[in-house]
A and B are shown apart, each in its own frame.
Chain A
Amino acid sequence: MQFISYLINGLGLGSVYAIIALGYTMVYGIAKMLNFAHGDVIMIGAYIAFFAIMNFGLPLIPAVLLAILACTVLGVVIERLAYKPLRQAPSLAVLITAIGVSYFLQNGAQLLWSSSTKVFPAVLPSGSLQIGDLSVSWLTLITIIVCVLVMAVLTLFISRTKTGRAMRACSEDKGAATLMGINVNFIISVTFAIGSGLAAIASVLLCSTYPSVYPTLGSMPGIKAFTAAVFGGIGSIPGAFLGGLLLGIIEILAKAYISTQLSDAIVFAVLIIVLLIKPTGLLGRKLSEKV
């Protein structure tokens, strides 16, 4: 029973990682870059949701929608201002810029809202569901359900809609996509918008579990989710989902059975082993080298 309860908690944590990992993996798949500022978009989303609830007295759903809107705009603006001018630049320049954007957002938050920790309000239902001996917190359950919904909607969007097809086309061959009449810049903006909107959702789930809001709150979940994306195969949407869930489970089990201090090290050790056996990650495809 104890084990199953750990498993469910792992799924809950993993669901948050998965939602964040989707942002990394989609941006990587289409813009071919690692957006290291993605974790900080989560942080901005957390502040927006915090102020929406505490200062403007908005109920949960409008507050989440406001955070999604703000992060979506932020993601698109970051891409336009920081990354778009570097479309032809070497990937190292883009990577360093992304790290720069990350610091810019963290320092900006510190300047605007100070570095002191704010306590995120308990807006999601507390308490837990009792099934026999098993007790699952509503928060964990909601997190898992949100993750599954996000995954389902995103999969339908990517596989069935015209824009989704265009996104897949851009991820394979931007030149050929342009010949079809696809505006590649617009598709990249859409990708950043979706990824950043998901980051806002993740921020509310994350802050409901760990209710502290501070300028560097996005760093650790960002790195974990990035690891999850690599673990599942970066560029692959089901990979981000699977990678996120597995990472969450491994982390919780390592904490429970091995050591709380070592849990992060164990997570990364598993990642390294997986990458040694399968360099493209669990569900990653080998990208054909395009020149």
Chain B
Amino acid sequence: MIEAIKGISFEVRDGEIVTLIGANGAGKTTTMHAISGLVKPAAGSITLDGTELTKIPSHRIVEMGLAQVPEGRRVFAQQTVAENLTLGAYARKDKDGIEKDMEEVYRLFPRLKERRLQMAGTLSGGEQQMLAMGRALMAKPSIVLMDEPSMGLSPLLVSEIFNIIQEINSKGTTVLLVEQNAKRALAIANRAYVLETGRITLSGTGSELAADERVRKAYLGG
């Protein structure tokens, strides 16, 4: 058995933006997957508002108010933008609420509204990222996990995505953010953790870590 992460412990409080930074292969995605249930940890405990998530079937975790924007977007390429968003609300039953949230997603990402009948696979990378974020928001989550949302995007779009993360958070959604773009992530994060080969080696507020000599050397390019 390969242990991608071992003995890590961290918390995300209500209303925060917390970021997890670390090099390639550090175990960030594995951590995200353990929380959202895509992989079940061999040992340990993950709780959301006191509920033990490791004992809940993976597909029921989104009902608990936890949604994920997966690494590499993973939109449903052969379904339309609107269908992807509808799938985001799969676990919900409140028809009116779903429609309202769809409008809200379209307000946040006007580009998606223009393209709502287009196949997701034909969207540009940036548009797919917006769709992946919109799709997660359709679950009406209290916390959303985002795995490298700025990956592969132009600088302009990266700024837009970070602005939107802040906007989502300001509306009351807690955010756990994994980023290669450590500088930007630390700038918007309340708190941050550094993950190295499956272990947490540093933690602090976003500004503390941004100022930390070790972090500067390893993740902020000196």
Contacts and interface: CB of A to CB of B under 8 A. Distances in A.
Interface of A: 162, 165-166, 168-169, 172-173, 175-184, 285, 288
Interface string B69-84: 0100011111100010
B139 interface: yes
A132 B59 CA distance: 60
11 contacts: A162-B90, A166-B87, A169-B76, A172-B77, A176-B76, A178-B37, A179-B62, A180-B88, A180-B135, A181-B60, A288-B77
How big is the B interface, by class? Answer: 20 to 34
Interface of B: 36-38, 57-60, 62-63, 67-68, 70, 74-79, 83, 86-88, 90-91, 135, 139
Instruction: Please provide the 6 A-B residue pairs with the shortest distance between their CB atoms, ordered closest to farther.
Output: A181-B91, A181-B62, A176-B74, A180-B90, A183-B59, A181-B90
A179 B76 CA distance: 12
B38 A182 contact: no
A104 to B, nearest CB: 30
A260 to B, nearest CB: 42
A173 B76 contact: yes
Contacts of A285: 78
Contact of A173 (B60, B74, B86, B88): B74
A100 to B, nearest CB: 29
Given A172-B78, A178-B58, A179-B70, A165 B38 contact: no
B177 to A, nearest CB: 17
Given A176-B74, A181-B63, 16 more contacts: A165-B83, A169-B76, A169-B87, A172-B76, A173-B74, A176-B70, A176-B75, A177-B87, A178-B37, A178-B38, A179-B36, A179-B70, A180-B88, A180-B91, A180-B139, A182-B90
